[in-house]
Amino acid sequence: MTDALQDIWDRMTTAGAAPSGLLLALTAGVAFVVVAWRPAWGVARHGITIVHEASHALAALVSGRSLSGIRLHSDTSGLTVSRGKPRGPGMVLTAFAGYVGPALLGLGAAALVGQRYAAGLLWALVVVLALMLVQIRNWFGLWSVLVSGVALVAVSWWGSDVVVTVAAYLVTFVLLLGAPRAVVELQSERRRRRTGTSDADMLARLTPFPGMFWVVVFLAVTLGCLALGGWWIASDALGEGWWGELTAGL
């Protein structure tokens, strides 16, 4: 057991080889198809929802709220329940975190893969999913988190360096591309149903700003993360990259 954990740690902390530009372009293209093609997006959307609800949960805990549980549904919707003051900064942060969470995670993933820590990214996601399991409160949610975790463990443990790298970049691109699509779907749902139960509508009740303001903020954050994360990955693929520029004077 100790040897296995040491092996995992070594993989997480050892930088891999730089991927070719062609491999990155192909991976980005596949991710774009996954997000743009409705049948594939219907599957990938479950992963975005997992990160969305995990972001709500983390924001609730950070802001001092008590987490009651997470539910994930087969229609790709989800619900995170927390206890605490019904208004105030903590509730605003919790409601805000969901739609920007996948984009911010994608940005962090871009930083990791840009520094060749593809295996580290995948194992970090496994740890996040394992922590989520204790808060899942329905069978579909348990199944979806378990399947996602097992898939990541299988790729990380048995996959070759190339397979691990491709998987890490694919996850990163899907997060960065899928986050703004989820925001667009949010606004479409708001126009169609007008139920007032979305995160944007909840923020409208908690703040002086209307729901559409928050949709625009969500979209600005997710598109900003997509642009910045894409630039990081592209610059690292072409040369020394942003990290080298940042640390050159240290």
CA 206 – CA 80 distance, rounded (Å) = 17
Does the pLDDT at position 243 exceed 90?
no
CA 190 – CA 174 distance, rounded (Å) = 24
Q: Would you state the structure tokens that stand for residue 107, as one six-digit string?
A: 């940005």
Q: Which amino acid is at 182?
A: A
Yes or no: say if 174 and 29 are a contact pair by the CB < 8 Å rule.
Answer: no
Buried b (16+ CB within 10 A) or exposed e, 160-190: eeeebbbbbbbbbbbbbbbbbbbbeebbeeb
Does the pLDDT at position 240 exceed 60?
no
Span 102-114, average pLDDT: 96
Report residue 3's pLDDT band, with 50, 70 and 90 as the boundaries.
low
Cβ-Cβ contacts under 8 Å for 160 (sequence gap 6 or more): none
Q: What SS3 state is found at 192?
A: helix
Half-sphere exposure of 2 (CA within 13 A, CB side): 0
Place of tokens 């070594």: 10
| Residue 239, pLDDT score | 64
Report residue 134's pLDDT band, with 50, 70 and 90 as the boundaries.
very high
